[in-house]
Structure 1
Amino acid sequence: MPEPTIAAIIPARDEEKAIGTVVAGLKNLLNQQGRPLFDTIVVCDNGSRDRTAEVARQAGASVVYQPVAGYGLACLTAIAQLPEIDLLLFMDGDNAFRAEQARPLIEAVTRGADLAIGSRALGNTAPGALTFTQRVGNRLASMLIRRIWGTRVTDLGPFRAISWQAYRRLNMADPRFGWTVEMQVKAIQLGMSVIELPVDTDRRIGRSKISGTIKGTIGAATGILSTIARLWWREFRSPESLAPAATVSGRYES
């Protein structure tokens, strides 16, 4: 069986100090044939005011630009540059995640899962790696998903892998903070196979543009909760258009 073609997508804004390490870590991963695991690594420079794009390119990534701020918009911009491939990996550019832990996420998808979520709640978290508001927000959103769709999730982590076919079916659209939860909820609504796997979280390099500011925190919370509400309302109005709930597996902690 041939190795799948894999692209890594990294949205980044003002990550000059971290992005080179993130790209290098992914480039060092090899497949079973000893070749690079990723066919392409695409960094979307989302309006950086520093040398993020230059450093990413020097590290070996392809760089695309999206001056309009928005996590989802940056992901959409990067994906639009790709040919049809087998699998997508999403990873932040702040060095909070460990490149080698991309491998089990990718392997889960190659074994048949549609979507593999790297759950920070199931892994080890370094002191100070997640803010209080991040922890509370993830728990609240996860609880709402469980209550509405009866599917247990532990995290909305941005470190994740998805098959190209599944991604195309989701018709992703949210341009900002609702991107990750949109992907998870739509996968549940369409009856996709979803798995959660533990990933460790280190303290990011530099200050977060989202959780590190009051404006960013409020914007992220509003985007996530409004996306959940919008997708629930769409399903409530047209339940016949949706498949049964997704199959979710993985190791959970109470």
Structure 2
Amino acid sequence: MKNIKLIIPAHNEAASIGLVLAEVPEIVSEIIVVDNASTDQTARVAADAGATVLSEPRKGYGYACLKGINYLSEKSKQPDILVFMDGDYSDYPEDLLKVIAPIDKNDLDFVIGARCKELREPGSMTPQQIFGNWLATFLMRLLFRARFSDLGPFRAIKFDALTSLNMEDKTYGWTVEMQLKALRKKLAYTEVPVRYKKRIGVSKVSGTVKGSIFAGIKILGWIFKYSFR
């Protein structure tokens, strides 16, 4: 049985994090919720639900993910597979079994849970999210012959493969950085279609004009940075 851990970055997700944790499959040996400068009861709700709660006061999705990775790296027994999932209840936690399957059964290194149109609840992704995903994955196909169709945050990766990527982005570029570095490292990867529904609360990225603009700049910056290497 492979050792599977889950990291959930969470900023002000008190209304949703308990629902997410209640539906995570039992195959996961530890759930790490990284409280990313929340001003609500996210940490308390997550702890009451049995999660390991870490605090990352510096705002940023990448900061939160790196906090969780550093915590796992310091343990004597590290996971075989690490899964990332959002805490806003937009993903279906039970789909984690689908996301890890290509690693567990076919020995792939990296899997993206792709939010394909036919499985998305109407309105669950904003127009800017849909366009941004299309543009980023189009450029990755054009420049790197990638087969990605989404930058979805619901993803799984072998822990040793992840540590080899030397992840560094602290904010909006985390997901695309991982995909670009996976391409550069020639990791064996695939996508699996996952369901997606309207999140609880307002997105900290796509829900604001500022967030959308900065995310777009960061994502394109990573793509063009790698295209000239």
Q: TM-score, normalised by structure 2?
A: 0.95
Report the secondary structure of 2:83's partner residue. Answer: strand
Query: Which position in structure 2 is the counterpart of 1:108?
Result: 102
User: What is the correspondence of 1:133-212 to structure 2 with a 5 Å cutoff?
Assistant: 133-212=128-207
Contact 1:24-1:60 within 8 A present in 2 as well? no
Give the residue type in structure 2 aligned to 1:175. K
Shift of 1:175: 0.7
Kindly provide the CA deviation profile for residues 99-140 of structure 1, in whole angstroms up to 9, marking residues without a partner as x: 111001112111211001000026511111000000000000
Query: Which position in structure 2 is the counterpart of 1:240?
Result: none
**Cα gap change, 1:123/1:39 in structure 2, threshold over 3 Å: closer, same or farther?**
farther
Report the secondary structure of 1:39's partner residue. Answer: strand
* Structure 1 residue 56 corresponds to structure 2 residue 46: yes
Give the residue type in structure 1 aligned to 2:114. S
* Structure 1 residue 65 corresponds to structure 2 residue 55: yes
The alignment's C-alpha RMSD in Å is 1.0
Kindly provide the CA deviation profile for residues 37-63 of structure 1, in whole angstroms up to 9, marking residues without a partner as x: 111100001000100010011111110
Between the aligned residues of both structures, percent identity stands at 43
The alignment of Structure 1 onto Structure 2 pairs a total of residues equal to: 224
Task: Flag the structure with larger Rg.
Answer: 1
Give the residue type in structure 1 aligned to 2:29. D
Q: How far apart are the structure 2 equivalents of 1:115 and 1:228?
A: 19
Shift of 1:231: 2.1
Match of 2:18 among 15, 20, 27: 20
Shift of 1:152: 2.2
Structure 2: runs of 5+ lacking an equivalent? none
Match of 1:85 among 79, 88, 95: 79
Query: Which position in structure 2 is the counterpart of 1:32?
Result: none
Report the secondary structure of 1:80's partner residue. Answer: helix
Structure 1: runs of 5+ lacking an equivalent? 30-35, 236-254
Report the secondary structure of 1:181's partner residue. Answer: helix
Contact 1:123-1:199 within 8 A present in 2 as well? no
Report the secondary structure of 1:116's partner residue. Answer: strand
* Structure 1 residue 130 corresponds to structure 2 residue 125: yes
Q: How far apart are the structure 2 equivalents of 1:183 and 1:123?
A: 25
Q: How far apart are the structure 1 equivalents of 2:81 and 2:118?
A: 23
Runs of 4+ in 1 over 4 A off after TM superposition: none
Report the secondary structure of 2:71's partner residue. Answer: coil
Q: TM-score, normalised by structure 1?
A: 0.86
Give the residue type in structure 1 aligned to 2:9. P
Shift of 1:221: 0.7
Shift of 1:212: 0.6
Q: How far apart are the structure 2 equivalents of 1:136 and 1:55?
A: 34
